Amino acid sequence: MRAMVLHEPKDITQKPLRLEDVPIPEPGPGQIRIKVTACGVCHTDLHTVEGDLPLPKLPLIPGHEVVGVVDKLGEGVTKFALGDKAGAVWLYRTCGHCKYCRSGRENLCENAMFTGYHVNGGYAEYMVVDEGFSYHLPANLSDPEIAPLMCGGVIGYRAFVLSEAKPGQVLGLYGFGNSAHITIQVARHLGVRVFVFTRSLGHRQHALALGAEWVGRAEDTPPEGIDSAIIFAPAGPIVPEALRVLNPGGTIALAGIYMTPIPEMPYDLLYFERTLRSVANSTRQDAIELLNLAEEIPIRTTVATFPLEEANEVLQAMKESKINGDAILIP
Protein backbone atom coordinates (compact mmCIF):
# COMPACT_ATOMS: atom_id res chain seq x y z
CA MET A 1 0.00 0.00 0.00
CA ARG A 2 1.02 3.64 -0.42
CA ALA A 3 1.94 5.53 2.76
CA MET A 4 3.76 8.66 3.85
CA VAL A 5 6.55 7.44 6.13
CA LEU A 6 8.69 9.36 8.62
CA HIS A 7 12.22 8.00 9.09
CA GLU A 8 13.78 10.99 10.84
CA PRO A 9 12.11 14.12 12.28
CA LYS A 10 13.12 17.31 10.47
CA ASP A 11 11.81 20.81 9.87
CA ILE A 12 8.81 20.49 7.56
CA THR A 13 10.56 22.62 4.91
CA GLN A 14 12.94 19.66 4.45
CA LYS A 15 10.00 17.38 3.52
CA PRO A 16 10.71 14.61 6.05
CA LEU A 17 7.77 12.40 4.97
CA ARG A 18 8.47 10.01 2.08
CA LEU A 19 5.90 8.30 -0.12
CA GLU A 20 6.63 4.57 0.05
CA ASP A 21 5.07 1.23 -0.78
CA VAL A 22 4.73 -0.75 2.47
CA PRO A 23 2.94 -4.01 3.39
CA ILE A 24 -0.81 -3.85 4.02
CA PRO A 25 -1.39 -4.44 7.78
CA GLU A 26 -3.37 -7.46 8.94
CA PRO A 27 -5.92 -7.16 11.79
CA GLY A 28 -5.28 -9.23 14.89
CA PRO A 29 -7.92 -10.65 17.25
CA GLY A 30 -10.46 -7.99 18.17
CA GLN A 31 -9.19 -5.60 15.48
CA ILE A 32 -10.64 -4.19 12.29
CA ARG A 33 -8.82 -3.05 9.18
CA ILE A 34 -9.93 0.29 7.78
CA LYS A 35 -9.50 1.13 4.12
CA VAL A 36 -8.76 4.83 4.58
CA THR A 37 -10.89 7.24 2.56
CA ALA A 38 -9.85 10.45 4.36
CA CYS A 39 -7.31 11.44 7.01
CA GLY A 40 -7.26 14.85 8.64
CA VAL A 41 -3.99 16.74 9.10
CA CYS A 42 -3.48 17.88 12.70
CA HIS A 43 -0.99 20.15 14.48
CA THR A 44 0.06 17.10 16.51
CA ASP A 45 1.22 15.54 13.24
CA LEU A 46 3.38 18.60 12.66
CA HIS A 47 4.88 18.34 16.16
CA THR A 48 5.56 14.65 15.47
CA VAL A 49 7.16 15.17 12.07
CA GLU A 50 9.33 18.06 13.24
CA GLY A 51 10.47 16.26 16.42
CA ASP A 52 8.81 18.53 19.00
CA LEU A 53 7.58 15.32 20.66
CA PRO A 54 9.89 12.43 21.59
CA LEU A 55 9.05 9.58 19.23
CA PRO A 56 8.72 6.02 20.59
CA LYS A 57 8.72 4.49 17.10
CA LEU A 58 10.56 5.02 13.82
CA PRO A 59 9.90 4.60 10.99
CA LEU A 60 6.37 5.87 11.54
CA ILE A 61 3.23 6.58 9.52
CA PRO A 62 1.55 9.61 11.12
CA GLY A 63 -2.15 10.52 11.06
CA HIS A 64 -4.91 10.06 13.62
CA GLU A 65 -8.04 11.68 12.18
CA VAL A 66 -8.95 8.56 10.26
CA VAL A 67 -12.14 7.79 8.34
CA GLY A 68 -12.77 4.84 6.10
CA VAL A 69 -14.55 1.57 5.47
CA VAL A 70 -14.08 -1.73 7.31
CA ASP A 71 -12.58 -4.12 4.76
CA LYS A 72 -11.35 -6.94 7.02
CA LEU A 73 -12.27 -8.27 10.47
CA GLY A 74 -10.00 -9.87 13.02
CA GLU A 75 -11.09 -12.87 15.03
CA GLY A 76 -13.90 -12.20 17.51
CA VAL A 77 -15.00 -8.80 16.19
CA THR A 78 -18.67 -8.12 16.90
CA LYS A 79 -19.05 -4.32 16.86
CA PHE A 80 -18.45 -3.88 13.11
CA ALA A 81 -19.36 -5.64 9.89
CA LEU A 82 -17.60 -5.56 6.55
CA GLY A 83 -18.49 -2.40 4.68
CA ASP A 84 -19.31 -0.33 7.78
CA LYS A 85 -18.05 3.24 7.89
CA ALA A 86 -15.57 3.50 10.76
CA GLY A 87 -13.11 5.95 12.25
CA ALA A 88 -10.07 6.06 14.52
CA VAL A 89 -8.85 8.82 16.83
CA TRP A 90 -5.66 9.82 18.70
CA LEU A 91 -6.34 7.42 21.59
CA TYR A 92 -5.41 4.05 20.09
CA ARG A 93 -5.48 1.83 23.18
CA THR A 94 -5.42 1.96 26.99
CA CYS A 95 -4.37 -0.68 29.49
CA GLY A 96 -7.76 -0.81 31.25
CA HIS A 97 -6.32 -1.63 34.68
CA CYS A 98 -4.24 1.33 35.91
CA LYS A 99 -5.72 3.70 38.51
CA TYR A 100 -6.72 6.18 35.83
CA CYS A 101 -8.51 3.63 33.66
CA ARG A 102 -10.30 2.22 36.71
CA SER A 103 -11.50 5.68 37.76
CA GLY A 104 -12.95 6.69 34.39
CA ARG A 105 -9.94 8.81 33.37
CA GLU A 106 -8.57 6.65 30.58
CA ASN A 107 -7.22 9.76 28.85
CA LEU A 108 -4.52 9.75 31.58
CA CYS A 109 -3.73 6.02 31.23
CA GLU A 110 -0.13 5.31 32.26
CA ASN A 111 0.28 2.86 29.38
CA ALA A 112 -1.79 4.52 26.67
CA MET A 113 -0.87 4.16 23.01
CA PHE A 114 -1.65 6.79 20.41
CA THR A 115 -2.47 6.54 16.71
CA GLY A 116 0.22 7.83 14.38
CA TYR A 117 2.65 7.98 17.31
CA HIS A 118 3.07 4.58 18.98
CA VAL A 119 1.48 2.76 16.02
CA ASN A 120 1.13 3.53 12.34
CA GLY A 121 -1.71 5.87 11.51
CA GLY A 122 -3.81 7.11 8.64
CA TYR A 123 -1.38 8.73 6.20
CA ALA A 124 -1.79 5.49 4.29
CA GLU A 125 -4.28 3.44 2.33
CA TYR A 126 -5.00 1.05 5.23
CA MET A 127 -4.65 0.89 9.01
CA VAL A 128 -5.72 -1.46 11.80
CA VAL A 129 -7.33 -0.54 15.12
CA ASP A 130 -8.96 -2.32 18.06
CA GLU A 131 -12.73 -2.45 17.59
CA GLY A 132 -13.17 -1.07 21.13
CA PHE A 133 -11.26 2.08 20.14
CA SER A 134 -12.94 2.69 16.79
CA TYR A 135 -16.20 4.47 16.10
CA HIS A 136 -19.35 4.31 14.02
CA LEU A 137 -19.69 7.59 12.15
CA PRO A 138 -22.48 10.05 11.29
CA ALA A 139 -24.38 9.09 8.14
CA ASN A 140 -25.27 12.69 7.23
CA LEU A 141 -21.67 13.90 6.73
CA SER A 142 -19.18 13.02 4.00
CA ASP A 143 -15.91 11.27 4.86
CA PRO A 144 -13.74 14.40 4.42
CA GLU A 145 -16.19 16.38 6.59
CA ILE A 146 -16.00 13.76 9.35
CA ALA A 147 -12.20 13.46 9.48
CA PRO A 148 -11.60 16.72 11.43
CA LEU A 149 -14.01 15.55 14.11
CA MET A 150 -11.80 12.59 14.96
CA CYS A 151 -9.16 14.69 16.75
CA GLY A 152 -9.65 18.43 16.38
CA GLY A 153 -13.33 17.95 17.12
CA VAL A 154 -12.88 15.55 20.01
CA ILE A 155 -10.09 17.52 21.71
CA GLY A 156 -11.98 20.75 21.15
CA TYR A 157 -15.07 19.22 22.72
CA ARG A 158 -13.14 17.99 25.76
CA ALA A 159 -11.49 21.40 26.11
CA PHE A 160 -14.92 23.04 25.87
CA VAL A 161 -16.25 20.85 28.69
CA LEU A 162 -13.16 21.51 30.85
CA SER A 163 -13.41 25.26 30.22
CA GLU A 164 -16.72 25.15 32.13
CA ALA A 165 -18.35 27.48 29.61
CA LYS A 166 -22.02 28.10 30.40
CA PRO A 167 -24.97 29.26 28.26
CA GLY A 168 -25.09 33.04 28.09
CA GLN A 169 -21.45 33.42 29.12
CA VAL A 170 -18.55 34.48 26.90
CA LEU A 171 -16.01 31.90 25.76
CA GLY A 172 -12.73 33.10 24.28
CA LEU A 173 -11.09 30.97 21.59
CA TYR A 174 -7.39 31.66 20.99
CA GLY A 175 -6.35 30.40 17.59
CA PHE A 176 -8.90 29.44 14.95
CA GLY A 177 -7.67 26.38 13.11
CA ASN A 178 -9.11 22.91 12.76
CA SER A 179 -10.28 22.44 16.38
CA ALA A 180 -11.68 25.90 16.98
CA HIS A 181 -13.93 26.03 13.93
CA ILE A 182 -15.66 22.89 15.21
CA THR A 183 -15.74 23.99 18.87
CA ILE A 184 -17.44 27.28 18.02
CA GLN A 185 -20.33 25.35 16.47
CA VAL A 186 -20.76 23.26 19.61
CA ALA A 187 -20.58 26.37 21.80
CA ARG A 188 -23.12 28.32 19.77
CA HIS A 189 -25.46 25.31 19.62
CA LEU A 190 -25.38 25.18 23.44
CA GLY A 191 -26.04 28.90 23.84
CA VAL A 192 -22.51 30.08 24.65
CA ARG A 193 -21.32 33.43 23.27
CA VAL A 194 -17.92 33.36 21.55
CA PHE A 195 -15.06 35.86 21.11
CA VAL A 196 -12.20 34.74 18.84
CA PHE A 197 -8.58 35.87 19.15
CA THR A 198 -6.42 35.17 16.10
CA ARG A 199 -3.76 36.99 14.09
CA SER A 200 -5.07 35.66 10.76
CA LEU A 201 -7.49 37.92 8.89
CA GLY A 202 -8.89 34.91 7.04
CA HIS A 203 -9.49 33.08 10.31
CA ARG A 204 -11.26 36.16 11.74
CA GLN A 205 -13.63 36.27 8.78
CA HIS A 206 -14.25 32.54 9.14
CA ALA A 207 -15.01 32.97 12.87
CA LEU A 208 -17.52 35.74 12.20
CA ALA A 209 -19.24 33.57 9.61
CA LEU A 210 -19.61 30.81 12.21
CA GLY A 211 -21.18 33.07 14.82
CA ALA A 212 -18.38 34.80 16.74
CA GLU A 213 -19.60 38.07 18.29
CA TRP A 214 -16.16 39.70 18.25
CA VAL A 215 -12.76 38.96 16.71
CA GLY A 216 -9.32 40.39 17.33
CA ARG A 217 -5.75 39.52 18.24
CA ALA A 218 -4.61 38.04 21.54
CA GLU A 219 -3.12 41.42 22.49
CA ASP A 220 -6.41 43.24 21.92
CA THR A 221 -8.94 44.02 24.65
CA PRO A 222 -12.44 42.74 23.83
CA PRO A 223 -15.57 44.81 24.58
CA GLU A 224 -16.12 42.85 27.79
CA GLY A 225 -14.26 40.28 29.87
CA ILE A 226 -14.46 36.59 29.02
CA ASP A 227 -15.80 33.96 31.41
CA SER A 228 -13.76 31.06 30.08
CA ALA A 229 -11.27 30.37 27.33
CA ILE A 230 -9.66 27.67 25.25
CA ILE A 231 -6.14 28.23 23.94
CA PHE A 232 -5.57 26.21 20.78
CA ALA A 233 -2.47 28.04 19.55
CA PRO A 234 0.73 26.39 20.93
CA ALA A 235 2.20 29.72 22.04
CA GLY A 236 2.96 30.20 25.74
CA PRO A 237 2.86 34.05 25.62
CA ILE A 238 -0.87 33.83 24.88
CA VAL A 239 -1.54 32.51 28.41
CA PRO A 240 -0.97 35.81 30.27
CA GLU A 241 -2.88 37.65 27.55
CA ALA A 242 -5.89 35.38 28.10
CA LEU A 243 -5.63 35.72 31.88
CA ARG A 244 -5.54 39.49 31.45
CA VAL A 245 -9.12 39.54 30.10
CA LEU A 246 -10.51 36.55 32.05
CA ASN A 247 -13.19 37.38 34.57
CA PRO A 248 -12.75 36.32 38.24
CA GLY A 249 -13.62 32.65 38.73
CA GLY A 250 -13.03 31.89 35.06
CA THR A 251 -11.24 28.89 33.59
CA ILE A 252 -8.72 28.61 30.76
CA ALA A 253 -8.22 25.21 29.09
CA LEU A 254 -4.98 24.64 27.17
CA ALA A 255 -5.97 22.33 24.32
CA GLY A 256 -2.58 21.58 22.77
CA ILE A 257 -0.32 18.60 23.31
CA TYR A 258 2.62 20.99 22.94
CA MET A 259 3.19 24.64 23.87
CA THR A 260 6.17 26.96 23.88
CA PRO A 261 7.26 28.14 27.37
CA ILE A 262 4.76 30.21 29.33
CA PRO A 263 6.48 33.44 30.37
CA GLU A 264 6.88 34.55 33.97
CA MET A 265 3.84 36.60 34.99
CA PRO A 266 2.50 38.43 38.05
CA TYR A 267 0.34 36.44 40.44
CA ASP A 268 -2.39 39.07 40.07
CA LEU A 269 -3.26 37.58 36.69
CA LEU A 270 -4.16 34.27 38.32
CA TYR A 271 -5.71 35.69 41.48
CA PHE A 272 -9.48 35.86 42.12
CA GLU A 273 -9.82 32.09 41.68
CA ARG A 274 -8.97 31.99 38.00
CA THR A 275 -8.12 28.46 36.86
CA LEU A 276 -5.51 27.40 34.29
CA ARG A 277 -5.67 23.74 33.22
CA SER A 278 -4.28 21.52 30.50
CA VAL A 279 -6.25 19.12 28.34
CA ALA A 280 -4.65 15.69 27.97
CA ASN A 281 -5.87 13.45 25.17
CA SER A 282 -9.53 12.38 25.30
CA THR A 283 -11.72 9.49 26.38
CA ARG A 284 -13.87 7.25 24.23
CA GLN A 285 -16.91 8.88 25.78
CA ASP A 286 -15.71 12.29 24.57
CA ALA A 287 -15.59 10.94 21.02
CA ILE A 288 -19.04 9.36 21.27
CA GLU A 289 -20.62 12.56 22.62
CA LEU A 290 -18.96 14.75 20.00
CA LEU A 291 -19.99 12.45 17.13
CA ASN A 292 -23.58 12.45 18.42
CA LEU A 293 -23.54 16.26 18.55
CA ALA A 294 -22.03 16.40 15.07
CA GLU A 295 -25.02 14.53 13.70
CA GLU A 296 -27.54 16.49 15.78
CA ILE A 297 -26.36 20.07 15.05
CA PRO A 298 -25.16 19.09 12.35
CA ILE A 299 -21.56 20.30 12.53
CA ARG A 300 -20.25 21.56 9.21
CA THR A 301 -16.51 21.36 8.86
CA THR A 302 -14.63 23.53 6.40
CA VAL A 303 -12.25 21.24 4.55
CA ALA A 304 -9.74 21.33 1.73
CA THR A 305 -8.70 17.99 0.25
CA PHE A 306 -5.23 17.08 -0.99
CA PRO A 307 -3.65 13.89 -2.39
CA LEU A 308 -1.75 11.79 0.12
CA GLU A 309 1.61 12.51 -1.49
CA GLU A 310 1.29 16.24 -0.70
CA ALA A 311 1.41 15.68 3.08
CA ASN A 312 4.66 17.65 3.52
CA GLU A 313 3.33 20.68 1.65
CA VAL A 314 0.04 20.57 3.56
CA LEU A 315 1.80 20.45 6.93
CA GLN A 316 3.91 23.44 5.94
CA ALA A 317 0.82 25.40 4.88
CA MET A 318 -0.80 24.55 8.22
CA LYS A 319 2.28 25.76 10.09
CA GLU A 320 2.07 29.04 8.22
CA SER A 321 -1.69 29.44 8.96
CA LYS A 322 -2.51 29.31 5.24
CA ILE A 323 -5.38 26.84 5.55
CA ASN A 324 -8.85 27.88 6.71
CA GLY A 325 -10.53 25.00 8.51
CA ASP A 326 -9.09 21.55 7.96
CA ALA A 327 -6.73 19.93 5.47
CA ILE A 328 -7.68 16.38 4.51
CA LEU A 329 -5.43 13.84 2.80
CA ILE A 330 -7.12 11.49 0.35
CA PRO A 331 -5.17 8.24 -0.28
pLDDT at 324: 72
Q: How many CA atoms lie within 13 A of 34 on its CB side?
A: 33
Tell me the C-alpha distance between 160 and 302, whole Å: 19
Decide if 265 contacts 176 (C-beta within 8 A). Answer: no
Q: String of b and e for 152-185 (b: at least 16 CB within 10 Å)?
A: bbbbbbbbbebbbbeeebbbbbbbbbbbbbbbbb
Torsion of CA 70, 74, 75, 76, to 10 degrees: -50
pLDDT at 323 over 90: no
Mean pLDDT of 49-78: 96
pLDDT digits (tens, 9 = 90+) for 219-255: 999 999 999 999 999 999 999 999 999 999 999 999 9
Query: Domains in the chain, please, with CATH?
Result: 2-151+301-330 (3.90.180.10), 153-278 (3.40.50.720)
pLDDT at 30 over 80: yes
pLDDT at 326: 87
**Confidence (pTM):** 0.91
Mean pLDDT of 18-39: 98
